Amino acid sequence: MAETTVRTTPDALDAELLEATLDAALDAARAGDAARVEALLEPVHPADVADLLEQVSQDDREALLAMGSAVIDGDVLSEISDAIREEVLDALPDDVVAEALRDLDSDDLVDIVEDLEAEDQGRILGAMDAADRVAVEQALAWPEHSAGRLMQRELVVAPEHWTVGETIDFLRKADHLPDQFYHVILVDPRLMPVGYVTLGRVLSSGRDAKLRDISEESFRTVTASDEEADVAYIFNQYHLISCPVVDGAGRLVGVITIDDAMNVLDEEHEEDMLRLAGVGEESSISDGIWDTVKSRLPWLAISLVTANIGALVISQFEAVIARIVVLAALMPVVAAMGGNAATQSLTVAVRALATRDLTGANAWRVVRRELVVGLINGLCFAAVMGLAAWLLFGAPMVGSVIGLALIITLIVAALSGVLVPLLLNRLGFDPALSSGTFVITMTDVIGFFAFLGLASVMLI
C-alpha cells in the first residue's frame, strides 16, 4: 500500500483535465476497450463517473455500462441519480451488481434499494450478502424519509467507564470499522446512548483519562422514526458531524453522519425550489421526455383553470373594454406587477419557513411588514405608472385608475405571498405547494377585478 497512498487524482478544480479524461473514457467505451476505460477511470472519483453516466445520451450510457466493473463499482452505483438508477441496474449483469454492492455500508445499500420497483428490489436484495440483506430489510421496515432509512448500522460504541487506553486497544483490534466515523458513542449497560467523545479528544487525552470525563458537553440523539427533514435541520442548526439514532425504547440502533444529512438538505432545497415553480419534485435534468411532461402538466392544468377564472372576471367587463380599448393594453401591466410581487414575498416566506426563521413568534410581525412593503411599492409604482399613463394617453383618469389598481394589487400580492404559505404550513402541508402557479394567478384575478372595476366606476 505504501507506494500508492498519495494518489494524484485530478484536482477537483481542474475541470479541464477531468473533462478530457472522461471524454477519452467515453471514446474507449464506444470502441469497446474495457481495459483502457478502466485505466482512464481509475483515478476519477466515483461521483464524477456517475455524473458522466447521467449526462451522456442513452446510447453512450449503454456503451459505458457494457464495460461492467470497469465503470461500475459500489460507490458509482450509490452516486447515481434516481432518475437513471433503474435503467443502470437493468443493464448490468448480476455478478457486476453483486460485486459492486459488497463495498457499501448499510445506509448506501438502503439508498440504492428503497426507490426501486418491487421486482428490481428483489433482484438487488438477492445479490447482497446475507448479513447486508438483513440489515437492509430491517432499515426498510422504518417509514420512507425517516431517520431509520438514513442511518448506518455500523457503529463505534464504548461503555462510559472505559479509559482512552482501553478504547484505543479495542479499536486497534476491531475487525470491521465503519468507513468513516467521527465519534465514539458512549452507552450504558442497556445500550442507551449517554454521550459521545470526538476522536480528536480521544487522541489528545492521556491513556488513563475516562471517556465519560472527556465527552462532549452537548449531546443529541434522534429517533429512527423521525422525519429525515427534521434530522437535516438539526445537523445544520447545531453543526453536528454525526448523531446517534435510537429506537422507540431509547436503545442505540445506528448513526447518521453529516454527508447523509447534507444530502437530505440538498434534496429538501431542490424540492422547495421545484415545488414553488410548479414542477413535480422528482424532476431532474436527466429525466426523459415523458417524465418531464408528467412532472409539468398537472400544475399547468391548474394554472389553466385559474387563468380562466381571470378570463371570466375580464369578460364581465367587456362593455367597458369595448368603449376604452386602452384598458386591454394596461391589463398585463397589472398582472405582471402583481405576479412578480407575489413571487417575491412567496419565495421569502417559503424559504423562511423551511429554515424555521418564520415561526409563530414573528409571523404577525412579518405579515404586517409585508403589508407596509406592499403599500410602499404600490405607491411608488402607482405614481410612476399613473403619470406615464396620463402623459401617454392624455387621460388623467386612466392614470388614476391604473395607479389605484396597482396599489391594491401589490398589497394583495405581498399579503397572499406570505399568508398562503403560513396557512398551508399551519394545516400541515408543505408551504412550497403554494406555488407561483396558484398564488400568482389568484393575485392576477384580484388585480384584474380591481383595475376593470375601478375603470367601470371612474371612467364611464
Write out the binding residues for a second copy, residues 178-197 only, by CB under 8 A.
178, 180-182, 194-195
Report the nearest approach of a second copy to the CB of residue 336 (Å): 4
> Is the Cβ of residue 97 or residue 341 nearer to a second copy in the bound state?
341
Tell me the C-alpha to C-alpha distance, in Å, between residue 397 and each of 240, 285, 327, 402: 61, 50, 12, 9
Give the nearest distance from C-beta 361 to a second copy in angstroms.
Answer: 5
59 binds a second copy (CB under 8 A): no
Task: Work out whether 177 is an interface residue with a second copy (CB under 8 A).
Answer: yes
* Residue 47 in the binding site for a second copy (CB under 8 A): yes
Least CB distance to a second copy at residue 415 (A):
14
Asked if 5 interacts with a second copy (CB under 8 A), we say: yes
Tell me if 200 contacts a second copy by CB under 8 A: yes
Contacts (CB under 8 A) with a second copy, residues 424-443: 436-437, 440-441
Strands 193-198 and 222-223: unpaired
Q: Which is nearer to a second copy, 134 or 199 (CB)?
A: 199
Q: Are residues 128 and 178 in contact, defined by beta-carbon separation less than 8 angstroms?
A: no
Residues 353-382, interacting with a second copy (CB under 8 A): 356-359, 361-362, 365-366, 369, 372-373, 376-377, 380-381
What residues from 292 to 311 belong to the interface with a second copy (CB under 8 A)?
292-293, 296-297, 299-301, 303-304, 306-308, 310-311
- Which of 9, 31, 115, 457 forms a contact with a second copy (CB under 8 A)? 9
Query: How many residues lie near a second copy (CB under 8 A)?
Result: 148
Give me the least distance between CB of 15 and a second copy, in Å please: 9
Q: What's at 307, amino acid-wise?
A: A
Does position 312 interact with a second copy (CB under 8 A)? The reply is yes
Distance (Å, whole) CA 163 – CA 170: 11
| Number of other residues whose CB lies within 10 A of the CB of residue 382 | 22
In the complex, the smallest distance separating the C-beta of residue 120 from a second copy, rounded to whole angstroms, is: 23
Binds a second copy by CB under 8 A, chosen from 279, 404, 419, 446 = 279
Strand-pair partners of 244: 255
Q: Closest distance between a second copy and the C-beta of residue 450, in Å?
A: 14
- Shortest Cβ 198–a second copy spacing (Å): 7
Q: Does 55 bind a second copy (CB under 8 A)?
A: yes
Contact region with a second copy (CB under 8 A), list: 86-94, 111-119, 124-132, 332-340:
332-340
Among positions 25, 146, 264, 448, the unique one binding a second copy when judged by CB under 8 A: 448
Q: Between residues 52 and 127, which has the closer beta carbon with respect to a second copy?
A: 52
Task: Restricting to residues 203-262, name those near a second copy by CB under 8 A.
Answer: 203-206, 210, 212-223, 226, 230, 234-239, 241, 258-259, 262
The residue from 62, 137, 144, 266 that contacts a second copy (CB under 8 A) is 266
Of 333, 398, 450, 454, the one binding a second copy by CB under 8 A: 333
